[in-house]
Amino acid sequence: MYPSRFRYEAPRSLDQAIDLLRTGGGEAKVLAGGQSLVPLLKLRFAAPELLVDINNIPGLDYHRVDPDGTIRIGALCRHADLERSTVLSSGQPTMAAAAPLIADPIVRNRGTLVGSLCHADPQGDWASVMTALGGHVVAQGADGRRSIPVAQFVTGPFQNVLAIDEIAVEAVVPAPKGTVAGGYLKLERRVGDFATAGVAVAIETSGELITRAGIGLTGVGGATIDAVDAAKALVGRPLSAESIGQAADLAAQAARPRTDHRGSAEYKRHIVHTFVVRILSRITESAERAA
């Protein structure tokens, strides 16, 4: 298998890349890690006229925490960078849990978080994580930058709101106001498979009380699911067996799974319930151990 023909450009700056995209007039695609795009090209599900490779643009491979706690991930930060990140392992448990579960170790050396968000696969793990964290995507175009909440960034399977001459340059996790906790669990048939179901949970606490909560669901609908009601059930109260049960029930209700070769809809819904309980129970257990 090999792709259909395309023109290829490897600009050295974002401005050049944006210019190229504009000349491409909607028939151009950005190539970052390529771990979703290249297979799509080979399968000829995608046949762009122009490929704009951004890998030679300096200064996009970062991930860092601002002094206020905001986490910023550049467009060329690879999954493997995040997997090894002390920034995440010490301060962002939902992302730290997800990073080693993306695809397989070799794909993680190339694939990028921002690219995963742009690809907008309903089975994409990072979209659920960023949904739970209330993250956003920074897009750069000829007229400057704009910030788009992840929940509004994706408009459908494999579709996002980027204009034809915009590049997603950064993903941002807003600074937490309280103490962060959370996790990501994914059921997969084997390493590298898409999720049968995945659940991302991110909470912030102040004292005993949960002040913010987000729950994102992977692979159980036509798009990433923001389980808003489930998250709301957690906020304003301490974590308890009762609130955990309610959140898990509501998350399972929010799931829209379909029966396929990975499992029945009922089974996937059950997994969502189990994962919500498991992630939140682990948070209570580690809080008890710390106390």
CA distance readout (Å), 25 to 20, 57, 113, 179: 9, 21, 25, 45
Phi then psi for residue 76, to 5 deg, are: -110, 15
Report yes or no: 216 and 195 within 8 Å, Cβ to Cβ: no
Residue 8 C-beta: closest distance to another protein, Å? 3
Binding of another protein by 53 (CB under 8 A): yes
- Per-residue contact flags (x/-) with another protein for residues 63 to 102, judged by CB under 8 A: -----------------x----------------------
Strand, coil or helix: 10: coil
Helical segments of 149-227, H only:
150-153
Binding of another protein by 6 (CB under 8 A): yes
Binding of another protein by 41 (CB under 8 A): yes
Binding of another protein by 194 (CB under 8 A): no
Residue 275 C-beta: closest distance to another protein, Å? 21
Nearest CB to another protein, comparing residues 114 and 276: 114
Q: What H or E segment, with its residue span, contains residue 149?
A: strand 144-149
In angstroms, the CA 71 to CA 188 distance is: 28
- Per-residue contact flags (x/-) with another protein for residues 118 to 157, judged by CB under 8 A: ----------------------------------------
Strand ordering across the sheet containing 50-53: 7-9, 50-53, 28-31
- For binding to another protein (CB under 8 A), which residues are involved? 1-8, 10, 31, 34-35, 38-39, 41-43, 51, 53, 55, 80, 103-107, 109-110, 191-192
